Amino acid sequence: MDEFSGPRQRLIATLKKQGITDERVLAAIAAVPRERFVPDHLRTKAYDNVALPIGQEQTISQPYIVAIMSQMLRLSGNEKVLEVGTGSGYQTAILSRLCRTVVSVERLPSLSQSAAIQLRELGCANVELHVGDGTLGWQPSAPFDAILVTAGAPDVPSPVYNQLRLGGRLVIPVGDEESQELQVIEKHKTGPQISDVGTCRFVKLIGDAGWEVDDGLQNSEG
Ligand code: SAM
C-alpha cells in the first residue's frame, strides 16, 4: 500500500465503468505508478482521469485513452509493438507489460531521456527507446505485430502502415488539429480494414509523414 493505492483503485473502477474489460490492461494500469511519469507539482493529480502537461508543450495521455488504445491492440503477450510518441513513457510502461518487446520512438530528446530514466527504474527491460521521426516508423526493427501512434496524424503515415505485418493492428488518431477519429486499422492481403472507434484530441504528430513543424522546438531540441 502507498499514498496512491486508493486513487489508483478508484481509477481502475472508473475505467471498468467506461468499458475497459481487458483484464491484462486493467492489471497493467493497476501496476504502473503513473505518479512517476508526471511532473512533481502534478503528482497529486496523477490518478485523475485526465491528460496532464509534461513540458515541451506535450502531454501524458488521459488514462482512459491509454486503456482503450491498449485494449484495441488486442495484445496477448508475444508481440513486438511499435509505439510512436514515447512522451512521458507511461504508455510505454503499460505496453511493456502486455507484449514481448516495445520499440518506442520520440522526436523530442529531452522527453525520451526522462522516459528512459523512469522505465529503467521500473525495470522495464523489454523496451527499446529511440529518438527520431516516428512518422517513418522504425525500419531496423520492422515488421511489427502491432503499432500504436500516440499523437494526432493528418493521415495514416504510409511508412508506419508498411511496417505492420499482415494480420497486425495499427491504432492511430487521424484528423485535423482540433479533433481526431481514433482508428483501428487491420492489415489484410486485400488491403486495410478501418474501424472508427470514437473522437479524441491529441497533440500533433509532427514529421515527414505527419504535420509540419510549427513550434520552433525542432531547432532547440536538435
Ligand atoms: N504516450 C505518451 C504518454 O503516455 O506520455 C503520450 C504521448 S504525447 C500525447 C505525444 C508524443 O508524440 C509527444 O511526446 C510528441 O513529442 C511525440 N511526437 C509527435 N510527433 C512525433 C514523431 N513524428 N515521432 C515521434 N514522436 C512524436
The H or E element spanning position 35 is none
pLDDT computed for residue 215 by the predictor? 54
> Cα dihedral sign for 74, 107, 130, 121?
negative
For ligand 1, mutation pick of 32, 84, 201 (most atoms within 8 Å of CB): 84
Active site residues: 61
Average pLDDT, the chain: 95
86 Cα to the center of ligand 1, angstroms: 5
93 lines ligand 1 (CB under 6 A): no
Q: For ligand 1, is residue 58 a contact (CB within 6 Å)? A: yes
Rounded-to-integer distance, Cα 142 and Cα 194, Å:
21
* C-alpha cell recorded at residue 143: 515488421
Q: What's residue 181's pLDDT? A: 97
Any atom of ligand 1 within 6 Å of the Cβ of 96: no
At 49, is the pLDDT very low, low, confident or very high (cuts 50, 70, 90)? very high
CA atoms within 13 A on the CB side of 4: 18
Quick check: CB of 107 below 6 Å from ligand 1?
Answer: yes
Is the pLDDT confidence value at 218 over 80?
no
Q: How do residues 131-186 score in pLDDT, each as one tens digit? A: 999 999 999 999 999 999 999 999 999 999 999 999 999 999 999 999 999 999 99
Instruction: Indicate whether this model's pTM tops 0.85.
Output: yes
Regarding the domain delimited by 63-200, which CATH topology (the fold level of the hierarchy) does it fall under? Rossmann fold (3.40.50)
DSSP SS3 for 56: coil
